[in-house]
Amino acid sequence: MDTSELQKVKQRYNIVGNSDGLNRALDVALQVAPTDLSVLIIGESGVGKEIIPRVIHDHSPRRREKYFAINCGSIPEGTIDSELFGHEKGSFTGAIGESEGYFGIANKGTIFLDEVGELPIQTQARLLRVLETGEYIRVGGQEVRKTDVRIVAATNVNMRKAISEGRFREDLYYRLNTIPIQMPPLRERGNDILLLFRLFAMQMAEKYRLPKISLSEDAKGIMLKYKWPGNVRQLKNITEQMSVLSQEREISAEMLLHYIPMDEESTQLATIPSQTGGAHSYESERELLYKILYELRGNVSDLRRDVSSLRKQLDEARQLNGASGFASPNAITPVESVSDFPARMDKTPSIRPVIPHHATEDAIVEEINEPETLNLNDLGRQMLEKALERNNGNRKKAAQELGISDRTLYRRLKQYGLNGDEEEENDKNK
């Protein structure tokens, strides 16, 4: 590609530099932009990888469609599938509505997956399916959906090492790496370092109305020899520090050494640390499961309580109508359903009998003691143990947390062999 077109692209996106590595990366990006091929941008942290996906999207047939830049490393592992692929209502705690996800919203557009090497293994499998077939399924859903999305990924992770350690799928790597683009580190860009320094110094002078700083010849030599492990981001930070803190406007070599750390810094691509012993901890998943079970049990208990209260109100109303000796226009007949009762009660004045608290509690206990179909015995035992652990062995608090009475709690403790009778006697003596 000719130099004039590259210069236009640099001016449009405020890209500073004329090094061969930078020009090659921009050239490849412009050539691959009209296609739908997947692109993997590889480079150290701070080299400006986020510019390339923007260039690709703006010069592609999808430029009028949506563009999303997603940092895969900043999304929690438990919610990343929902963020990317969407979810159905009620699929997990907090899912009060449906969500399209990025792949649904960005249909016909481009998605930039930054730090793709940080994706969980399960999410990698979903992403591979999208790249191969264009199909995905929402979290908690069953319907297969289609999407037409251009994927551009970037990483600062040593992908070869991550694959050998089992932290990244090899088939996904080759899918993403259809067109590789290598972003050069700052230490390999030569005089681009000085150009970037002058740009950042000028920006600081204009923004804060400060005299512009400059470098002496010795300082320039140090700048060119330094490895810059933080790349462009580090250069910008050091320039801003010197613009604000330095009393002299011409930075000498001696002054520069006060701002540049001279300890050995790693300039290699990052590696994904392996977990101890290769075992995965399911503590977060277990906590989420307990939370869902507690919420489900509470909802079932509330439903049973409402049905029991409604049934008692219906029985009391029938008794009152029978004792009156005549059938009023608003009287409830035996053929009326329970579901019609609340509507009738809203339309006409009603007599609500006062139900003793202990009677209601006994009714709730009887309802809860019915055979449960939503929980297995082992899950019920785990919930009891978890509730006791959370409340430091206090059975009254554990019963309140589980939404059951003390009597039911002691009965369950005896059922699961947790010395419920002994503890019950101790609590009564207290």
Structure token digits, residue 195: 């150009």
Mean pLDDT of 58-76: 94
96 vs 242, more confident? 242
Helix (H) or strand (E) run with residue 346 in it: helix 341-347
Mean pLDDT of 358-377: 47
According to DSSP, residue 338 is labeled G
pLDDT greater than 60 at residue 267:
no
19 vs 282, more confident? 19
Which pTM value belongs to this model?
A: 0.60
DSSP one-letter string for 17-86: ---HHHHHHHHHHHHHTTS---EEEE--TTS-TTHHHHHHHHTSTTTTS-EEEEEGGGS-TTTHHHHHH-
Comparing 3-184 with 187-257, is the CATH topology the same? no
CB 101 within 8 A of CB 138: yes
CATH placement of domain 3-184: 3.40.50.300
Structure token digits, residue 338: 């329970």
According to DSSP, residue 135 is labeled E
Structure token digits, residue 156: 């600062």
Tens of pLDDT, residue by residue over 217-265, are: 999 999 999 999 999 999 999 999 999 999 899 999 999 999 998 765 5
Distance between CA atoms of 256 and 177, rounded to whole angstroms? 40
Structural domain spans, the chain: 3-184, 187-257, 283-429
Fold that domain 187-257 belongs to in CATH: Helicase, Ruva Protein; domain 3 (1.10.8)
Q: Mean pLDDT check: name the lowest of 60-64, 159-163, 421-425.
A: 421-425
**Dihedral (C-alpha) 212, 216, 220, 226: value to the nearest 10 degrees?**
-90
| SS3 (DSSP) at 215 | strand
pLDDT for residue 346: 47
| Mean pLDDT (the chain, rounded) | 81
27 vs 361, more confident? 27
Crossing angle between the packed helical segments 395-402 and 420-429, to the nearest 10 degrees:
110
Distance between CA atoms of 55 and 36, rounded to whole angstroms? 14
Look up residue 360 and give its amino acid: T
pLDDT greater than 90 at residue 181:
yes
Q: Is 284 left (phi over 0), alpha (psi -120 to 50) or beta?
A: alpha
